[in-house]
Structure 1
């Protein structure tokens, strides 16, 4: 279970994954080598799974984002899952309960591209698509409070 210092390091890295060991040491009250060791242990335990940058898709011409709910036709679940995985414009996909089996996020350059991608799924699934107008809450972690036993 991560402790309070681990939480401080994780929250700081979520805000800026490029923080130096020296900066993390200053925030946590540890030495730089101690921070490096903590991060290594968090990685080994699978708590920290990667470091990333955020890129605005619009900078590369992806002007539209859509949320697509996908309901595979009978017997097509695995084929649809593989198909979604093979289309790079699908930037996220969750397998969910309920009538739809997948909820996916799609980045496209135009409505024509959206139609072309959805047409690739139409012989194996029903789709319901919503265009994203804004994202008032970006992907984030839930509160990282430490649970005491």
Structure 2
């Protein structure tokens, strides 16, 4: 379980993953080697899984976002899961309990592209699609306290 200093490090990196080790150490009141050791431990424990860049899909031409609930037909669960994994426009997917097995987020350039993707699984699963109008809460960390 991360302590208060770890949580502060995580929060700072979540707001700016490019922050230098020196700046990070200065913000949390530790030396650079101590901060580096904490970062290494957080990575080894799997608390920090990586450092990344956030890209706006609309700025690179993916102006349409959809949430697709997917219910594989009997005996097709693993086939459908593999199809989902292979579609690069699926940017997130959760395997869930309830009426559906998967909830996927897709970024596409057009309705036609969305239709073509859904057609690839139409004979293996039932789908229910919602077009995203806005995203009032972007992906974020749960409370660190």
In structure 2, distance between residues paired with 1:51 and 1:100: 32
In structure 2, distance between residues paired with 1:12 and 1:135: 23
Mapped pair 1:130 → 2:130: yes
| Matching of residues 24-43 of structure 1 within 5 Å | 24-43=24-43
| Matching of residues 1-149 of structure 1 within 5 Å | 1-145=1-145
Post-superposition CA distance 1:74-129 (Å, at most 9, x none): 00000000000000000000000111000000000000000000000101000000
The Cα RMSD (Å) is 0.6
Deviation at 1:27, TM superposition (A): 1.1
In structure 2, distance between residues paired with 1:45 and 1:115: 41
In structure 2, distance between residues paired with 1:7 and 1:27: 12
In structure 2, distance between residues paired with 1:26 and 1:132: 40
In structure 2, distance between residues paired with 1:86 and 1:94: 15
Deviation at 1:141, TM superposition (A): 1.3
* 3-state SS, counterpart of residue 5 of structure 1: helix
Deviation at 1:11, TM superposition (A): 0.4
Figure out how many residues of one structure are paired with residues of the other and give that number: 145
Runs of 4+ aligned structure 1 residues displaced above 3 Å come to none
In structure 2, distance between residues paired with 1:99 and 1:143: 29
TM-score by length of 2: 0.98
